Amino acid sequence: MRPPTWRRCLVAAAVAAPLLIAPAAAAPGGSHTVVTKTVTDGDDTGGPLDIVRVRHRVVSDGSHTQLAYAVRVQGPFDDADLSWRHRHFIVDLDTDGEPGAEFNVTIFGRDRSLRADLISNATREVVAHLAVGRIDERTVRVLGPRRLLGAHKVFWTSNFHRRGIPACGWDDGYPITCQDTAPDRGWIRLDPIAWPDSASDEV
């Protein structure tokens, strides 16, 4: 079962260095294992947050494992263009391998800066504030240790609603939210190196 999603916009209508679908591979010298994966998405949603691709990178030295989740969209946007309620990215995280998502990362703008919150889907409480930053004017990336960002599979959503954007503004007094998802169906399955490990002592 995929996480609940809102209605995709019916009116005409976030990344590390280049990543490719690849198996786990040891870096030169055998000191690190790096796994990367990318999923692309078509030009199918109005507004600037139409997803072009999402990319995932896992780097492990055997005792510490770090993850980077990134999204690139069709149009440029400023940090201040994002908001908690109307304009943001969500990465749903399936951490137990069962149907549904236990946590999500919500990327939004606050005080004209980017912010990424790790949120429990059960309690809606913020579990942690994560490192988030820009790659360029169309790409953002969130970083964290496996104990926070580890997942069996993930699912991306972007939402955009703003007055003055015809495709994503208002229609007969009703707000229109332009929503895009990646993938369009199902989930993005991650390599086992990215799965949560309750015995991990990572900090």
pLDDT (0 to 100) of residue 30: 56
pLDDT interval class at 84 (50, 70, 90): very high
Q: Which residues contact 16 (CB under 8 A, 6 or more apart)?
A: 36, 55, 57, 68, 70, 135, 141
The angle at the Cα of 89, spanning 85 to 95, to the nearest 5 degrees, equals 115
Is 30 or 54 the better-scoring residue by pLDDT? 54
How many angstroms separate the CA atoms of 42 and 44, rounded? 6
pLDDT (0 to 100) of residue 18: 32
Q: Which residues contact 138 (CB under 8 A, 6 or more apart)?
A: 52, 72, 73, 74, 75, 76, 77
What does pTM read for this prediction?
Answer: 0.82
Q: Would the pLDDT of 27 be above 80?
A: no
pLDDT (0 to 100) of residue 166: 83
The domain 25-194 having CATH identifier 3.30.420: the answer here is no
What is the domain partition of the chain in residue ranges? Answer: 25-194
Encode pLDDT of 124-161 as tens digits.
999 999 999 999 999 999 999 999 999 999 999 999 99
Q: State the amino acid at position 194 in one-letter form.
A: A
Percent over 90 (pLDDT), the chain: 72
| Stretch among 24-28, 69-73, 111-115, 127-131 having the lowest mean pLDDT | 24-28
